[in-house]
A and B are shown apart, each in its own frame.
Chain A
Amino acid sequence: MSTAATHDAHHEEHAKGLLRWVFTTNHKDIGTLYLVFALTMFFVGGAMAMVIRAELFQPGLQFVDPQFFNSMTTMHALIMVFGAVMPAFVGLANWLIPMMIGAPDMALPRMNNWSFWILPFAALMLVGTLFMDGGAPAGGWTMYPPLVLQTGDAFPFLIFSVHLLGISSIMGAINIIVTIMNMRAPGMTMMKMPLFVWTWLITAYLLIAVMPVFAGAVTMLLTDRFFDTSFFNAAGGGDPVMFQHIFWFFGHPEVYIMILPAFGVISAIIPTFARKRLFGYSSMVYATASIAFLSFIVWAHHMFTVGLPLTGELFFMYATMLIAVPTGVKVFNWVSTMWKGSMTFETPMLFAIGFVMLFTIGGFSGLMMSITPIDFQYHDTYFIVAHFHYVLVSGSVFSIFAAVYYWLPKWTGNMYDEKLGKLHFWLSAIFVNVLFFPQHFLGLAGMPRRIPDYSTQFAGFNEISSLGGFAFGLTQLLFVYIVIKTVRGGSKATDQVWEGADGLEWTLPSPPPYHSFTTAPEVK
């Protein structure tokens, strides 16, 4: 590690070249690593989605054999969830939380480095399964036994990559909690924290509570396969359905782990461009906490058709419907913030408004599925696929785009190209609907998910969906171009960047110094 003097040696001392990124303990460096990693995996997972859409462009088997198709759906999901969306939000947390609460860095910087540097190895282990005997895992990302136990050589690698991802997430979450609880500037009380900090605090608690449960579940799979245990084997007194319960006890909070930070991003952006304070700040905090609490008692709505007792079906149906209340509070507050605001529509705002509208569509289809007897019709159809892609792509991913456009000028000191940004938004917003909206109709008509072939009556909508998919995929290359262009240059951004922006991060220069706040600011 070099101590070479720069113009400001005290604050900028770090190793040069590639090693800087390997050894770094700086929250901005690590945030950048997370974001670059997430973007890379977004394209790896995206390429797999393209394979899926190409195969489904027409009925019949065209390009890939069914086993490989199933590998693609499985790997696409695992990579997008654990490789793209979660790391992207952790990257945003790393960059923003210390700046937002007035801290010099994250509380546990070395552990921060480790949280990131486990990820590439986990990804390598997961993607490596594509080249193994028996192919990559093809039993679905939910890894239900007994099907997943039939995976070939890839099986233990799948399990261990999940363990690694879990270790990384838990350490990242602990770091975020400790930073928020212990590193706030004087006067930054809990109820003065920006909502992005709040939503991440609650997300971090969800992560710590459920990632270990997930690790336990996959460990039981491993011992069932290799060490003669009978957790999921009825002959030995176990139960395959038990895996689904344990998995979804993790899995449902997991989907909120992927959306709560998005709520925080949107709650930062809308007030800026509406030039009004966020409507109902404290109700936003309580709504986030309520959603987090409810996420622990709704898991079996993923399993309505598995044969639950009637009381179970009823409990999980009503509990699930309850989530619409705090979520509705949030959407109401965002809309109320915009009400009578003096709005402008720069790219982050466009993505934020796109988020509010399209996420709400996903929320409504979720509400439809919460009704048990109706879910019997939708279960494992393309309606489900449409639902969770609305909340994950036009929800989480849109919010990540919004965040990048919003804070990139702060991070780099350069403004992005507004014209290209808007083009990126409009192409994304149009094609994401072309891609996923027809899938609602396909699902309602009965097209099952995770099958490479389909009845000819589904041909038309699948063709439209695939065309939308290819166009949406191509559009994202534009995003990469815009980001690279901004990092390399562009018109200089002011410290404030946005006229209506409010918060500690905007009081720092653009780009901010290597250590965000060397002396803690006073918050009044």
Chain B
Amino acid sequence: MSDTNGSYYVPHGSGWPIIGSIGLFTMMQGFANFLNGSGIGSTVMLVGFAILLFMVFGWFRTVINESETGTYNRQVDKSFRWGMGWFIFSEVMFFAAFFGALWYTRVLVMPWLGGGDPGTHELLYPNWEASWPTNGPGDVGGAFTLLDPWKIPALNTLLLLSSGVTITFAHWALKKGNRGSLIMWMIATVVLGATFLGFQAYEYGQAYSEHHNLTLGSGIYGSTFFMLTGFHGLHVTLGTIMLIVITLRCAKGHFTADRHFGFEAVAWYWHFVDVVWLGLFIFVYLL
């Protein structure tokens, strides 16, 4: 049911949004109940997540079908571009909150807690000397040791940066109409992303081991370390799934040399997680 007014495509009625709302609501209700210690919470959460997945599949299937049947004109394509661009900007601002927390604690809280100008430490923690990394004057979570940034994190930086290159090669191949090379470079990108995730999981395992004892509960260092890398990891996971979907679509013959917004949107997203990682590598691991 559609109606092309003038030439702009205006879809008529859609059930996917309300299914998405029900899914989100169920999932969050379940999660909140789980956090409050209710036994049924996790089940409800999984049901909500399943509904949400169903919505994502269905909604994207509708849009991909519409796209492949030529429903969208240039102007609709442009709407999608603007939409994706500003969505990524909102994601940047989400990470900004956590980077802000990291910088605020390092630049302001550390000197204050450690005996700086306001002098509150005199009353609370008179003998504590601030240094980074720290789990605070209360030694929250117990002593921990750091991970070597020049081992796995440096390797991961190399992997993600390379994946930025391979997806660009894939884009060039798509523009030249070279399908075989496109799919090969896409597979390379997916493999690089998945390898990154594997290493990241391995590194988390190391951090939680008795040797390092670095956990989410390790004071402010553990909090900022795991929340930043964790949310980044979630985004890489999502990005990798998106890359897989796009690779499959390429294999099915979707996209043309001059019309391939879906591909570009995923490429933008991938570059975004790449850039966030660079920020993480510098501010979380190195400095």
Contact = CB atoms under 8 A, between A and B. Distances in A.
Task: Please indicate whether A and B come from the same complex rather than being unrelated chains.
Answer: yes
Interface of A: 1, 3, 10-11, 13-15, 22-25, 103-105, 107-111, 113-114, 117-118, 121, 124-125, 153, 156-157, 159-160, 163-164, 167, 170, 173-175, 177-178, 181-183, 208-213, 215-217, 219-220, 222-223, 226-231, 233-239, 242, 245-246, 249, 307, 309, 515, 517-520
Contacts of B98: 216, 220
A235 B136 contact: yes
Nearest to B92: A212
Question: What 5 pairs across the A-B complex have the smallest Cβ distances?
Answer: A216-B97, A235-B138, A237-B136, A228-B217, A114-B17
B264 to A, nearest CB: 16
A25 B104 contact: no
Contacts of B79: 107-108, 178, 182-183
B94 A25 contact: no
Contacts of B221: 237
A371 B17 CA distance: 47
Given A113-B18, A236-B138, 14 more contacts: A22-B18, A114-B20, A114-B21, A157-B32, A164-B25, A174-B83, A178-B86, A182-B75, A182-B78, A183-B8, A213-B93, A215-B97, A220-B223, A228-B215
Contact of B10 (A104, A118, A520): A104
A213 B96 contact: yes
B137 A234 contact: yes
Interface string B208-241: 0000000111011111101100000000000000
Given A156-B32, A160-B32, A309-B117, A212 B90 contact: yes
Interface string B1-41: 10101101011111111101110110011011001100000
B168 interface: no
5 contacts: A170-B90, A174-B86, A216-B97, A223-B223, A238-B219
Contact of B216 (A164, A227, A517): A227
A242 B105 contact: yes
Contact of A25 (B11, B105, B222): B11
Given A113-B17, A237-B134, A160 B28 contact: yes
B137 A235 contact: yes
B70 interface: no
Contact of B140 (A3, A117, A213, A236): A236
Nearest to A161: B28
Contacts of B136: 230, 233-238
A235 B140 contact: yes
A111 B104 CA distance: 36
B122 to A, nearest CB: 13
A229 B98 CA distance: 13
B109 interface: yes
Nearest to B9: A109
Interface of B: 1, 3, 5-6, 8, 10-18, 20-22, 24-25, 28-29, 31-32, 35-36, 59, 75, 78-79, 82-83, 86-87, 89-91, 93-98, 100-101, 104-105, 108-110, 112-113, 117-118, 120, 124, 130, 134-138, 140-141, 215-217, 219-224, 226-227
Given A114-B20, A164-B28, A178-B82, A229 B216 contact: yes
B5 A515 contact: yes
Contacts of B18: 22-23, 113, 117
Given A14-B12, A238-B109, A226 B86 contact: no
Tell me the interface secondary structure of chain A in the complex.
helix
Nearest to B13: A23
B12 A1 contact: yes
B10 A230 contact: no
B124 A238 contact: no
The winner among B11, B78, B79, B227 for most chain A CB atoms within 10 A is B79
A237 B24 contact: no
Given A107-B79, A174-B83, A25 B28 contact: no
Contacts of A110: 11, 14, 16-17, 59
A156 B135 contact: no
A105 B93 contact: no
B1 A223 contact: no
Nearest to A309: B117
